[in-house]
């Protein structure tokens, strides 16, 4: 049993981490909230020293009524949804495959996981240039080899291209987690089902998939949080052009490129609310696991 003394020592040991994270969360959050109710255009002479004009909810209204807001929401949904569908479906299939007996399993695993370790700016630029370049890219060579007209990947099929690049980066994550989950499945249960004459499709549908449901949920939630803030891949490929401006990118442009801090901060508050909705579900699952 812990004594009173060890309790206060424990609190002391926790203090630095708690205080730092509290500061890291609260200070910028309060500043963002404050800016979101102010007219703040640093390039036009607004500054904190001279005091900022209070504008109420004007920034919030202007942010959602601007012509780029709804397209950015749509872009965000397409990228997040597209990547989720691709990585989860392919991830399940790949995990099932990697779970089978084969030669060189360890090496295949390494090959499949590798993209996760590539920094986003590298994968963005490698795909943009060496693969999707309409003249010299590998994909253009391939298309020409089959007598087809090479695609203008990042200009005419920009969203599909971004989804492809980001899916390539996140497929390893989904596969690895789902593979770990499959390996924890009790193989006797599967054998029993097999002996009772259940087809492999039935075994997948009634035993494997239900067993994976928790891991799939976790993959979806964690990826959603990271995918909502995809940035570098867009920054180095299209820089937000050709309909690839996500909510994150739109806010970035408002804040740093056009320096409309009030408007961008209102957008930031929307992004924070959105991320929190997803986060609540994730925390529930993680929290449940903590009791066990």
Partner 1 sequence: MARAVTTQRKTLNTVIAWGIGLLIFFPILWTILTSFKTEGQAIADPPLFLFFDWTLENYAVVQERSDYMRFLWNSVIIAGGSTLLGIIIAVPAAWSMAFVPSKRTKDILLWMLSTKMLPAVGVLYPIYLLFISLGLLDTRIGLTIVLMLINLPIIVWMLYTYFKEIPGEILEAARMDGASLKEEILYVLTPMAIPGIASTVLLNIILAWNEAFWTLNLTAANAAPLTAFIASYSSPEGLFFAKLSAASTMAIAPILILGWFSQKQLVRGLTFGAVK
**Is residue 264 a contact point for partner 1 (CB under 8 A)?**
yes
Q: Which is nearer to partner 1, 82 or 124 (CB)?
A: 124
Q: Which stretch binds partner 1 (CB under 8 A): 65-73, 80-88, 198-206, 269-277?
A: 269-277
Q: Cβ of residue 205: shortest distance to partner 1, in angstroms? A: 20
| Among 64, 89, 130, 241, interactor with partner 1 by CB under 8 A | 130
Place of tokens 């979806």: 220
**Helix/strand/coil for 39:** strand
**Is residue 74 a contact point for partner 1 (CB under 8 A)?**
no
**Is residue 73 a contact point for partner 1 (CB under 8 A)?**
no
- What Å distances lie between residue 112 and 37, 141, 157, 217, 230, CA to CA? 47, 24, 26, 21, 21
Q: Which stretch binds partner 1 (CB under 8 A): 59-67, 75-83, 155-163, 180-188?
A: 180-188
19-38: which residues touch partner 1 (CB under 8 A)?
20-21, 24-25, 27-29, 31-32, 35
Place of tokens 């980001």: 166
**Is residue 216 a contact point for partner 1 (CB under 8 A)?**
no
**Is residue 102 a contact point for partner 1 (CB under 8 A)?**
yes
* CB neighbour class for 242 (10 Å; exposed up to 12, middle 13-18, buried from 19): middle
Among candidates 19, 75, 39, which has minimal Cα distance to 227? 75
**Is residue 2 a contact point for partner 1 (CB under 8 A)?**
yes
Instruction: Enumerate residues 6+ apart whose C-beta is below 8 A from 210.
Output: none
HSE of 77, CA atoms in CB hemisphere, 13 A: 6
Q: Cβ of residue 288: shortest distance to partner 1, in angstroms? A: 9
Q: Cβ of residue 206: shortest distance to partner 1, in angstroms? A: 18
Q: Which stretch binds partner 1 (CB under 8 A): 52-60, 70-78, 79-87, 211-219?
A: 211-219
Among candidates 208, 212, 188, which has minimal Cα distance to 199? 208
Helix, strand, coil percentages in the chain from 3-state DSSP, rounded to 5: 75, 0, 20
**Is residue 268 a contact point for partner 1 (CB under 8 A)?**
yes
Q: Which is nearer to partner 1, 75 or 123 (CB)?
A: 123
| Among 53, 136, 199, 213, interactor with partner 1 by CB under 8 A | 136
Rounded distance between C-alpha atoms, residue 268 and residue 266, angstroms: 5
DSSP type of residue 12: H
**Is residue 69 a contact point for partner 1 (CB under 8 A)?**
no
**Is residue 41 a contact point for partner 1 (CB under 8 A)?**
no
């Amino acid at each position: 049993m812990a004594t009173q003394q060890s309790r206060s020592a424990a609190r002391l040991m926790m203090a630095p981490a708690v205080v730092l994270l509290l500061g890291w969360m609260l200070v910028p959050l309060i500043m963002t909230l404050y800016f979101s109710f102010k007219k703040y255009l640093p390039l036009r002479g607004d500054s904190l020293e001279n005091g900022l004009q209070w504008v109420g909810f004007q920034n919030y209204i202007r942010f959602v009524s601007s012509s780029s807001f709804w397209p950015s929401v749509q872009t965000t949904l397409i990228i997040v949804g597209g990547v989720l569908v691709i990585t989860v479906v392919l991830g399940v299939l790949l995990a099932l495959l990697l779970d089978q007996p084969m030669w060189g399993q360890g090496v295949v695993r390494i090959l499949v996981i590798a993209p996760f370790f590539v920094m986003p700016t590298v994968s963005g630029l490698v795909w943009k240039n060496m693969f999707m370049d309409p003249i010299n890219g590998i994909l253009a060579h391939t298309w020409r080899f089959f007598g087809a007209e090479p695609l203008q990947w990042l200009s005419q099929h920009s969203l599909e291209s971004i989804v492809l690049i980001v899916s390539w980066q996140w497929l390893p994550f989904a596969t690895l987690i789902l593979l770990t989950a499959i390996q924890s499945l009790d193989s006797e249960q599967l054998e029993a089902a097999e002996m009772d004459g259940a087809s492999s499709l039935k075994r997948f549908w009634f035993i494997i998939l239900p067993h994976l449901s928790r891991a799939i949920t976790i993959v979806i939630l964690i990826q959603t949080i990271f995918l909502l803030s995809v940035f570098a891949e867009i920054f180095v490929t299209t820089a937000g052009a050709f309909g690839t401006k996500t909510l994150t990118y739109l806010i970035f442009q408002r804040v740093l490129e056009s320096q409309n801090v009030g408007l961008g901060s209102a957008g930031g508050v929307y992004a924070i609310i959105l991320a929190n909705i997803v986060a609540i579900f994730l925390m529930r699952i993680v929290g449940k696991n903590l009791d066990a």
